[in-house]
Chain A
Amino acid sequence: MNKKRGILHSNVLYTIIAILIGFIIGAIFLAVANISPVEAYSKLLSSVVSKPKYWFWTLTYASPIILTGLSVAFSFRTGVFNIGAEGQFVVGSLAATIIGILVDVPAVIHIPLCILAAALAGCCWSLICGIMKVKKGIHEVLSFIMFNWIAYYLSNFAVNTQTLHKVGSGEATKDLLPSARLLFPKSVLTLTGCSAANAGIIIAIVLAVVVWVIIEKTTLGYKLKAVGFNKHAAQYGGIDSNKSILTALGISGALAGLGGAVQTMGMGGRLAQFASQEGYGFEGITVALIGGSNPIGVIFSGIFYGAMKYGGSKLTLINAPSEIINIIMGCVVIFIAIAHVFKELFLNISKKKEAK
């Protein structure tokens, strides 16, 4: 009986239930639109799992969102809401692109240099908002939204400057030098069949573990969580809450910036002019929520989202709008938000059964 109770208390169960309900609601929308849900879902599944090539594509799609997911999850755990991951992602990818094009050094130096630049850019972008929050009391959600747009236009401006812009390529920068790319060696690419398979996923997983260690196993993590939980109590307990908020935002921003680096140094290879916000930061919010704001959970939810994104892009082949993915993901998030209702319900049922 105890084991069963344990399952009913586990959040993973309710996440899975939420995902199932999300798919059911998605099926209803598909059916209303006169598209066979069975056909659409089997297409979705087969375009993700049926060939090893597709697995690698899924992981390629997943890597940047795992990192923005980590960024948001880290901010949630430390009591701030990083809605600015979008902008930090953009300045991160911009920094990696600039270093990747303009600096010509061997890969051993070039790759760490680009990654460092991206992390630093994301960190600073987030810290500016953090300093405004701490010094002037400006609501971080407000400044993050502004900085998302400033980053957006800054990136578009940079793409069109003479030093970066590739002549005759329409609206994108030159390609990053090969020494700045995270792509696996050619032999691996041909073996997997995925032309963009890259080390981004390894970086993402390693960082997820690092973030988990910081949050769960270090005094720093303890302090940050304490401030997030109750700023005044933490302050009373001798923790400098302003310093903690800045540290949390800095780390969160650096993670989102790294997401940008992984995207351009991995799959992208260059930076294109944006037509509208890319959405990696907002997808990060969803990934963090599905992963229960747990860094290890974020790896799985990021891969899940990556699979949905990649599989969803194939839905057009059977004339089903790929936007069904957004509807499903939104519903999943709603049902995760009210997971406690299901939990109470199930626990009550199991209690009644026990009483009998």
Chain B
Amino acid sequence: MNILIQNLGLLINATLIATPPLLFAALGSCFSERCGVVNIGIEGMMTVGAVVGAITALNTHNGIIAFLVGGLAGAVFGLIHAIVCITYHADQTIAGTAINFIGPGLAVFACKILYNSSDTPAIDSSYKLPKMFNGMFSAGSFGSNVLNVYSMAYLVFIVAAICWFVFYKTRFGAHLRACGEHPEACESLGINVYLVRYICVILSGFLAGLGGAFVTLATVSQFRPTVIVGQGFIAIAAVIFGKFSPEGALKGCLIFGVCNGIKALASQGNVVSPNLISMIPYVVTIIALILFVGRANAPAANGKPYIKSR
């Protein structure tokens, strides 16, 4: 029984480590996709958030400021994506691909210039994000595993709830969903489609940046070129999985998070090849898609540049 509880604790702990970066980025992706702008550049924006977060923490010695600055760095790339896609009507997939090259390129470039290495130095644990209930539980106990995690890991679920509220209970949410379905109709009703889309895409960059900063400021405690690799794409996958809604994205990210927890537990025994265990999240997603989710209904105007009629 004790072992069972302890394993459950480990599972929850691993889930709480793996889910937040994905969920931050996935919520960002929801905003962008639902307002009608495909943002495949989430990956690049996360990487930028990760590196800027790490560099800021090393210089300001303040984890929370670093976290927010990481988000802002992501937002800058969100702004670039917005200008290119909304004002200049560029193909959104192409622009996103470009950001996925520039972001990680710039991140490693900056590290090499600043630290003469592709990694940043390790971030001292006191400059990292704060932990809740630090020291209240003995190390390795159930309480420590579940409650003594980085506070942002719980914050992300509150952010998800806020996103849900914004999406379905506010005027702005209604506008943003409408902009993704039928921008011409929105414009005729006096909604400023460009403004709504700008806000959403910048917000998506901000949230992706936070997700990236969480990785360097909590999970890994330094920037390495491989810290993000793929997580942005997984976040996009979670959003498609969740049919482009915040609550669906939460579900998608949790599946990934829990699978990561199972992965951590399963690799303890060293019986099965770790490479096969690592496939679990991806295979489970595919199976879940085939059995339960099926057709993804993307917003009607997603990916189509909207050109204001004069």
Contacts from A to B (Cβ < 8 Å): 29, 33-34, 81, 83, 132, 136-139, 141-143, 145-150, 153-154, 156-157, 160, 275-277, 282, 285-286, 289, 321, 323-327, 329-331, 333-334, 336-338, 340-341
Given known A33-B113, A139-B298, A321-B112, contact A330–B236 (CB-CB < 8 A)? no
8 Å CB contact of B106 from A83, A146, A327 = A327
Summarize B's interface: helix, strand, loop or mixed.
Answer: helix
- Indicate if the CB atoms of B105 and A142 lie closer than 8 Å: no
Q: Which residues of A contact B230 (CB under 8 A)?
A: 148-149, 276-277
Given known A136-B294, A138-B290, contact A331–B112 (CB-CB < 8 A)? no
B96-110: which have CB < 8 Å to A? 97-106, 108-109
8 Å CB contact of A333 from B80, B89, B94, B234 = B94
Number of A-B contacts (CB under 8 A): 145
**Cα distance A128–B148 when bound, in Å?**
43
**Cα distance A143–B149 when bound, in Å?**
32
Q: Which residues of A contact B40 (CB under 8 A)?
A: 83
**Cα distance A153–B278 when bound, in Å?**
7
- Indicate if the CB atoms of A141 and B94 lie closer than 8 Å: no
Q: Which residues of B contact A33 (CB under 8 A)?
A: 109, 113
- Indicate if the CB atoms of B236 and A145 lie closer than 8 Å: yes
Q: Which residues of A contact B294 (CB under 8 A)?
A: 136-138
Instruction: Name the distance in Å between B69's Cβ and chain A's nearest Cβ.
Output: 19
**Cα distance A147–B278 when bound, in Å?**
13
Given known A149-B279, A153-B276, A276-B229, contact A136–B295 (CB-CB < 8 A)? yes
Instruction: Name the distance in Å between A126's Cβ and chain B's nearest Cβ.
Output: 14
Instruction: Name the distance in Å between A287's Cβ and chain B's nearest Cβ.
Output: 11
Q: Which residues of A contact B236 (CB under 8 A)?
A: 141-142, 145
Query: Is B286 part of the contact surface with A, judged by Cβ < 8 Å?
Result: yes
**Cα distance A326–B104 when bound, in Å?**
8
B198-250: which have CB < 8 Å to A? 225-226, 229-230, 233-234, 236-237, 240-241
Closest to A146 in B: B282
**Cα distance A322–B296 when bound, in Å?**
40
